Structure 1
Amino acid sequence: MPYEPPPELASLSLAQIADLVAARKLPPLDKWSPAESGDSEMRIAADGRWYHQGGIIGRPAMVRAFASLLLRDEQGQHWLVTPTQRLSIAVEDAAFVAIDVRQDGDALAFRLNTDDLVIAGPDHPLRVAGDADNPAVYLSVRHGTEARLNRSTWAQLAEIALSGDGASVSSQGVTFPLVAE
Structure 2
Amino acid sequence: MSLEKISTQLKLSSAEQKLPPVELWDPPYCGEIDIVIKEDGSWYHNGTVFKRQKLVKLFASVLKKEGDEYFLVTPVEKVKITVEDAPFILSQWSWGQGGEYGEMQLATTLGDEFILGHDHPLHIGDNGCLYVTVRRNLMAKVHRNVFYQWADIAKERKTSSGTELVLPCGSYELVLGCF
Q: How big is each residue's C-alpha offset from its partner over 1:52-72, in whole Å with a ceiling of 9 and x where there is no partner?
A: 111111100000111111121
Aligned to 2:6: none
CA contact (8 A) 2:107 2:114 kept: yes
Of the candidates 101, 108, 122, which is equivalent to residue 93 of structure 2? 101
Q: Return 42-51 or 151-160, whichever deviates more.
A: 151-160
Correspondence 1:175 to 2:173: yes
Of the candidates 73, 82, 96, which is equivalent to residue 74 of structure 2? 82
Q: How big is each residue's C-alpha offset from its partner over 1:88-120, in whole Å with a ceiling of 9 and x where there is no partner?
A: 111111100011111222211111110111211
Aligned to 2:21: 28
CA contact (8 A) 1:36 1:85 kept: yes
CA contact (8 A) 2:165 2:178 kept: no
CA distance 1:167–1:180, shift in 2 (3 Å): closer
Q: Which amino acid aligns with 2:172?
A: V
Q: Which has the higher strand share?
A: 2
- Once the two structures are TM-superposed, the CA of residue 172 in structure 1 deviates from its matched residue by 5.1
Correspondence 1:63 to 2:81: no
Larger relative contact order, structure 1 or 2 (CA cutoff 8 Å, min sep 6): 1
Correspondence 1:138 to 2:144: no
CA contact (8 A) 1:128 1:177 kept: no
- RMSD after superposition: 2.4
Question: What secondary structure does 1:141 align onto?
Answer: strand
Structure 1: gaps spanning 5 or more residues: 6-19
Report the identity percentage: 30
CA distance 1:109–1:142, shift in 2 (3 Å): same
- Cα separation, 2, equivalents of 1:27 and 1:79: 14
- TM-score normalised by length of structure 1: 0.78
> Radius of gyration: which is bigger?
2
- Cα separation, 1, equivalents of 2:105 and 2:75: 31
CA contact (8 A) 1:43 1:89 kept: yes
